[in-house]
A and B are shown apart, each in its own frame.
Chain A
Amino acid sequence: MAEHDLAWVPGRFGRPHGTPGLRVHELTDVALASIVARRGQATAAATAAERSFGCRLPDRARVELGHDIAFLWVGPGQWLAVTGLATTDLESRLAGPFAGVAAVVDQSGGRVMLELEGPRVRDVLAKGFSIDLDPRVFTAGRVAATLVAHLHVQLWQVDDAPRYRILVVRTYFASFWRWLGSSAAEFGGEVLESRRYVHTAPAAATQSCP
Chain B
Amino acid sequence: MSDPSQSARLAAGGLLDRNDVRRFRFDGREFLGYAGDTLASALVANGVRLLGRSFKYHRPRGLLSAGPEEPNALVELRTGARREPNTRATGIELYDGLEAASQNRWPSLHFDVNAVNGLFSSIFVAGFYYKTFMWPASFWEKVYEPLIRRAAGLGKPPLEPDPDQYDKAWLHCDVLVIGGGPTGLAAALAAARAGARVVIADEDFVLGGRALAERLTIDDKPSARWAHDVVAELRSMPDVRVMPRTTVFGAYDGMYGAVERVNDHVAQPPDFEPRQRVWRIVARQAVLAAGAIERPLTFGDNDRPGVMLAGAVRSYLNRFAVRPGRRAVVFTDNDDGWSTAADLLVAGADVAAVVDARNPETVRELARQWPGVESIAGVVTRAHGGHGVREVEVRTHARATHRIPCDLLATSGGWTPTLHLTSHRGARPRFDATRAMFVPGDVAAGLIVAGAANGEFALADALESGHRAGVTAAAAVGCTRAVPAPPAGERESTRGESLWRVRNCRGKSFVDFQNDVTTTDVELAEREGFRSVEHLKRYTTLGMATDQGKTSNVTGLALMAERTSRSIEATGVTAFRPPYTPVTMGALAGHHRGRDFRPTRLPPSHAWAARRGAVFMETGPWLRAQWFPQVGDQDWFVPTCREVLAVRTGVGVCDVSTLGKIDVQGPDAGAFLDRLYANVMSSLAVGRVRYGIMLREDGFVMDDGTAARLAPDRFVITTTTAHAVKVYQHMHFCHQVLWPALDVQFVSVTDQWAQYAVAGPRSRELLRRVLDPACDISNAAFPYMAAGPIALRDGQRGRLFRISFSGELAYEVAVPARGGEALMEALFEAGRDLGVLPYGLEALNVMRIEKGHMTANELNGQTTAHDLGLERMLSGKKDFVGATLARRAHLVDPARPRLVGLRPIDPRARIAGGMHFVPRGAERIAANDQGHVTSVGYSPSLQQWIGLGLLARGPERHGEHVLACDPLRGTETLVEIGSTVFVDPEGARLRG
Which residues of A pack against B, CB within 8 Å?
1, 3, 5, 14-15, 34, 36-39, 89, 102-103, 105-111, 123, 126-127, 129-132, 134, 137, 149-151, 169-176, 178-179, 182-183, 185-186, 188
| Contact between chains at A149 and B601 (CB < 8 Å) | no
The 4 A-B residue pairs whose C-beta atoms are closest, nearest first, are A109-B816, A110-B751, A175-B599, A5-B607
Q: How far is the CB of B570 from chain A (nearest CB, A)?
A: 43
Bound-state CA distance A127–B596 (Å) is 15
Q: Nearest residue in A to B601 (C-beta to C-beta)?
A: A171
The answer to whether B22 has its CB under 8 Å from any CB of chain A is no
Contact among A102, A129, A174 for B602, CB-based, below 8 A: A174
Report chain A residues within 8 Å CB of B169: 123, 126-127
- B821-A5 in contact (CB<8A): yes
Query: Once the chains bind, are B599 and A150 in contact (CB under 8 Å)?
Result: yes
Residue contacts A-B, CB under 8 angstroms, 26 given = A5-B604, A5-B606, A14-B272, A37-B745, A39-B743, A103-B745, A105-B747, A106-B752, A108-B816, A109-B751, A109-B753, A109-B818, A110-B816, A130-B170, A130-B280, A134-B172, A137-B172, A149-B599, A170-B751, A170-B818, A171-B622, A171-B657, A172-B599, A182-B165, A182-B596, A183-B167
Kindly state the separation between the CA atoms of A80 and B742 in the bound complex, as whole angstroms: 23
How distant is the Cα of A39 from the Cα of B821 in the complex, in angstroms?
38
Given A39-B743, A149-B592, the answer on whether A126 and B170 have CB atoms closer than 8 Å is yes
Once bound together, how far apart are the Cα atoms of A111 and B772, in whole Å? Answer: 27
* 15 more A-B residue pairs beyond the given contacts A107-B752, A108-B818, with a C-beta to C-beta distance below 8 A: A15-B271, A36-B745, A37-B745, A39-B666, A102-B745, A103-B666, A126-B169, A130-B280, A132-B282, A151-B599, A171-B602, A171-B817, A173-B602, A185-B272, A186-B273
Cross-chain contact B596 with A179 (CB below 8 angstroms): yes
CB–CB B272/A15 < 8 A: yes
User: What is the minimal beta-carbon distance from B713 to any residue of chain A, in angstroms?
Assistant: 9
**Distance between A1 CB and nearest chain B CB, rounded to angstroms:** 8
Residues of chain B lying within 8 A (CB to CB) of residue A126: 169-171
Bound-state CA distance A151–B596 (Å) is 12
User: Using a CB–CB distance below 8 Å, which chain B residues touch chain A?
Assistant: 165, 167-172, 197, 271-274, 280, 282, 590-592, 596, 598-604, 606-607, 621-622, 657, 663, 665-667, 741-743, 745-747, 749-754, 797, 815-821
Contact B745 A110 (CB under 8 A): no
| Chain B residues in 8 Å Cβ range of A105 | 663, 665, 747, 749, 752
Q: Evaluate contact between B752 and A171: CB separation under 8 angstroms.
A: no
CB of B165 within 8 A of CB of A34, answer no
- Complexed CA–CA distance, A170 and B604 (Å): 9
Most buried by A among B657, B665, B818: B818
CB distance from B897 to the nearest CB of A (A): 36
- Are A132 and B172 neighbours in the complex by a CB distance under 8 Å? yes
**In the complex, chain B residues whose CB is within 8 Å of the CB of A188:** 272
Q: Cα distance A171–B663 when bound, in Å? A: 18
A108 close to B752 (CB less than 8 A): yes
With A149-B591, A171-B601 as contacts: A129 and B170 at CB distance below 8 Å = yes
For A134, list chain B residues within 8 Å (CB): 172, 197
**Which of chain B's residues have a CB closer than 8 A to the CB of A102?**
745
**Which chain B residues lie closer than 8 Å to A110 at the CB level?**
749-752, 816-817
Q: Which of B273, B598, B663, B742 contacts A150 (CB 8 A)?
A: B598
Residue from A36, A105, A178 with most neighbouring chain B CB atoms (10 Å):
A105
Question: In the complex, which residue of chain A has the Cβ closest to the Cβ of B610?
Answer: A5
B591 to chain A minimum Cβ distance, whole angstroms, is 5
Asked if A186 and B272 sit within 8 Å, CB to CB, the answer is: yes
Which residue of A has the minimal Cβ distance to B744? A39
| Inter-chain contact B170/A175, CB cutoff 8 Å | no
Q: Is the CB of A111 within 8 A of B751?
A: yes
Find the A residue at minimum CB distance from B743: A39
Q: Interface centre among B282, B621, B751, B821, by most A CB within 10 Å?
A: B751
Residues of A within 8 A of B598 (CB): 150
Task: Say whether, besides A137-B172, A169-B751, A171-B751, A3 and B745 are in contact (CB < 8 Å).
Answer: no
* Cross-chain contact A3 with B818 (CB below 8 angstroms): yes
CB–CB A175/B600 < 8 A: yes
**A36 B752 Cβ-Cβ under 8 A:** no
Query: How far does the alpha carbon of A107 sit from the alpha carbon of B742 in the complex, in Å?
Result: 24
CA distance A108 to B600 in the complex (A): 21
